[in-house]
Structure 1
Amino acid sequence: MSKGENTLLSLEAALERIRQGKPKRIPTHRKLSVRAVEEEANLGNGSGYYYPEFVEKVKQTKAEIAAGKGEITQPEIQTVRTKLKEQKRIKENFKAKYEAEREKLALFAASQHHLNDKLVKALSRIDDLEYENANLKTELTELKRNKIVSIK
C-alpha cells in the first residue's frame, strides 16, 4: 500500500469513529469537519483536502448527522445571508440608538447654551445694579454732608 492509500484509510477510519460517536483524539461534542477528521486521524492540517471525494464524504456525513438530529442543514450561502441580515439588523438597531442619543445630546447642549446665556445676562444685570448702588451711595453721602451744619 502506498502512503496516500494509508492516509485515506486512516481518514476514513477516523470519520467512522466520529460518526459512531467514539472518537479517540477529539471531544465528542466537536462539530464534524475535515479538520476534525484530520485531528482524529492524527494527520497534519490540510491533508484531507488532497482527497476531494473524501471531502464530499465528510460533507455528506455531516448532512446525515444533522438530519438524524432533526436539524435543517442550510446551504452555505443561505447561512451567510442569514448572518448578514442579523448583522444589518444589529447595525440598524445601534444606529437608531446612536441617533436617539445624539438628539438628546443636541437638546442638552441647546438647553445648556440657553442657561449660559441667561447666566451672562444676570451677571451683567448684577454688575449694572452694583454700579448704580455705588453711585447712589456716593450721592447719598454727598447729600448728608451738605446737611451738616457747623456749631459755633
Structure 2
Amino acid sequence: MSKSNLTRVKIEEALERILQGHPKIVPSSQKLSVKAVEEEAGLGSGSVYYYPELVSRIKEHTLKTQKKSQNNSLYEEKISSLQKKLKNEKRLKEKYRFEVIELKSQLSSMASQHNQLALIIQQYQFKINELEHLDKVHRIENKDR
C-alpha cells in the first residue's frame, strides 16, 4: 500500500471511531471537526485536506449534527413553552376549583335564606288573612249594633 492510501485508511478509521463515539486519542465529548480527525489519526495539521472527499464527509456529518441540534433546540423550546402553559393551566384549574367550592357554599347559604324568607312570608300572609278575617267580623258586628 502506498503512503497516501495508508494515510487515507488512518483518516477513515479515525473518523469512524469518532462517529461511533469511541475515539482513542481525542475526548469523546469533542465535536467532530477536521482537526479532531487529524488528531485521532495521529496526523499533522492540514493532512486531511489532501483528501477532499473525506473533508466533505466530515463537514456533512457536522452539518447533520448541527441540524439535529437545531431541531432539538426548537423542540426543547416548544416543550418548555408547553410546560409553562401546562403549569399555568394547572394553577388556573386550582384557582377555579376553590372558586367553585366558595360559590357552592354561597349558593347553599342563599338557598337556606330563601327558604327562611319564604316561610316568614307565608306566616305573615297567614296573619294578614287572619287579621282581614277579624276585621270583616268586627265590621259585621259593628253593623249589627
Q: With the length of structure 1 as denominator, give the TM-score of the two structures.
A: 0.48
Q: Which has the higher helix share?
A: 2
Q: With the length of structure 2 as denominator, give the TM-score of the two structures.
A: 0.50
